[in-house]
Chain A
Amino acid sequence: MTKNKGLAAFCASIYAFLYLPLAVMFAFSFNDARRNVVWKGFTLKWYGSMFHNAELLSALVTTLELAIAASVFASILGLFASYAMTRHAPFKGRGIYSSMLSVPLMMPEIVMGVGLLSFFVRVHIPLNFWTLACAHAMIALPYTASSIRARLLSLKDSRLEDAAMDLGATEWQAFYKVTLPLAGPAIFSGALLAFTVSFEDFVTSFFIAGIGIVTMPIKIYSMMKFGVTPEINALACCLLLLTVVLLSSQKLLAKKETQS
């Protein structure tokens, strides 16, 4: 038991290490100094002024729009690819194809960033909102694909689609009457993950965001270079709350699904 206690204490200290910056972020969101490096006193004003800071709010809106677009793209792509890979006859190179889908997970983000930048500039693709959204869809694709594929595989085992088709449904009908509704929660949970990936992405956006596209992480980066106000801490606290809610609901969904 002593070993157990020692380990428990060790884990507690790891948690302390992980939560220390969060605590500081939270504490300094009440800091009454314009430049957020030295503690000057307690205030709540940043939570108010955050909502009047047009630049911050527009960055927030851009980030949300981008995350929605990217997660929609990534879900559609993931759904199609997973369907093809689980339902259609195995094609040559399927193994390579499916590991290709997870490559963005394994690649350092900076490689993605500079690769996309050099390619877009080379073939004169404009660097606008939609190119960035599509790039985000690419980095989020592994998440949606794996979440959806797992669900489609378990559905395949249940043979419900086969039953539908035996009863005279075409493949399409079986797809949108049976597969899609049943895979719905998995698609949604994949989309949620994709949303968070896009929402948090800094590196890819940093390299290929065109002018006027300022996402939240890019805004925070430039504020860090040019001087931070505690508004950022206040906003980060609110965003963390939002992410916690989003991802807990994703966890709940995933849990429900494994139970069903």
Chain B
Amino acid sequence: MLAPATIWLLAFLLLPVASLLAMSLAKRGPYSSVIWTFTWENFARALDHKYLTVLIRTMCYASATTGICLVLGFPFAYFLSFYAGHRRETFLILLMIPFWTSCLVSIYSWIIILGRAGLLNNFLLNLGVISTPLGILNTPFSVILGLVYFYLPFMILPLYSSLEKIPRSYIEASYDLGAGTIQTFSKVTLPLALPGVFAGCILTFVPCIGDFLTAEFLGGPKTYLIGNLVQNQFLMAQDWPFGAALTTILLVSLISGVYFYQKLEAAELERA
């Protein structure tokens, strides 16, 4: 009974990834064909100064997005779990609805909002806060805003479910033993919510790293990300081996990240 799923895993997951790995060691031939050799050239090129900048920029954007999502998401999840009472189901569904819209349409709406002749600029102009329209679109700001918008639910949901799991009696016990609000939060609630924090960070960080749509539409020349670079190698520059090498680097760093996270989580659980 395992056969169908195994075939699927092989044909649509393992072999594609294997073919990527193999291709990352190949070479680009004339007219952008692929020559099957064994060379580390692509990896050397990927770590070249100019591509490294893109790689580092992507990491910075993804980290910033994850950080902002955490800062915004934690109080939100906390409220949902501790104060929303019986309406929490409704609140959760309300959180998911924007996420079900096609992300392309949401991006388009953000373009309408942030543009030079857009809603935000018009609003600020009418208010008299600014006298000339601000160039908000196609900047790092608009890209991070878009990323936060798309991945915030990925942060909130695991946070929420880990906060839900905390037995309320622990918190009461902490108060009973004379701990203040802050102390209870930092000594009881936060440590118990840590698995959710980790999970949320991973779930936000991973898709951020591979995102190319947000940067393509909300970004500009200064916000070229690794996703754009990979897309470009496969669909524009036609250097598939190099694109495969970039993807491999992405994959390896993610796998080691997730592995590290699991170790951390296991250690954390043991301590608790």
Contact = CB atoms under 8 A, between A and B. Distances in A.
B195 to A, nearest CB: 16
Interface in A145-170: 145
Given A38-B117, A81-B5, A119 B19 contact: yes
Contact of A115 (B3, B16, B91, B181): B16
A134 B97 CA distance: 27
A117 B240 CA distance: 10
Interface in B73-126: 75-76, 78-80, 83, 91, 93-98, 100-113, 115, 117, 119
Size category of the A interface is 35 or more
A130 interface: no
Q: Is the interface of B mostly helix, strand, loop or mixed?
A: helix
A104 interface: yes
Residue among A17, A106, A108, A200 with max Cβ neighbours from chain B (10 Å): A108
A20 B97 contact: no
A109 B76 contact: no
Interface stretch (A22-30, A45-53, A182-190): A22-30
A18 B152 contact: yes
A112 B206 CA distance: 13
A3 B181 CA distance: 11
Size category of the B interface is 35 or more
Contacts of B100: 196, 200, 240, 243-244, 247
B4 A18 contact: no
Residue among B91, B110, B202, B234 with max Cβ neighbours from chain A (10 Å): B234
Nearest to B1: A84
Contacts of A117: 234
A21 B113 CA distance: 8
A248 B16 CA distance: 35
A20 B247 CA distance: 34
A36 B109 CA distance: 10
B105 A111 contact: no
Contacts of B113: 20-21, 24
Contacts of A17: 149
B227 A118 contact: no
B13 interface: yes
B116 to A, nearest CB: 10
A112 B244 CA distance: 12
A175 B60 CA distance: 51
B83 A4 contact: yes
A62 to B, nearest CB: 15
A225 to B, nearest CB: 9
Interface string A5-27: 00110110011011111101100
A178 interface: no
A100 B9 contact: yes
Contacts of B212: 110
A24 B83 CA distance: 30
B247 A232 contact: no
A61 interface: no
Nearest to A115: B16
Interface string B39-83: 000000000000000000000000000000000100110111001
B234 A101 contact: no
A148 to B, nearest CB: 11
Contact of B109 (A21, A76, A100, A248): A21
Contacts of B227: 108, 110
B264 to A, nearest CB: 16
B15 interface: yes
Nearest to A17: B149
Interface in A96-155: 97, 100-101, 103-104, 106-112, 114-119, 122, 134-135, 137-138, 141, 145
B102 A10 contact: no
21 contacts: A11-B80, A14-B72, A15-B94, A18-B152, A19-B98, A28-B112, A37-B111, A80-B1, A100-B13, A110-B211, A111-B210, A112-B16, A114-B244, A115-B16, A115-B17, A115-B20, A220-B102, A220-B104, A232-B108, A243-B100, A248-B93
Closest 3 CB pairs of A and B: A108-B210, A115-B16, A21-B109
Interface of A: 3-4, 7-8, 10-11, 14-15, 17-22, 24-25, 28, 36-38, 76-78, 80-81, 83-85, 88, 97, 100-101, 103-104, 106-112, 114-119, 122, 134-135, 137-138, 141, 145, 196, 200, 202-203, 207, 216-217, 220-221, 224, 228, 232-233, 236, 239-240, 243-244, 247-248, 251
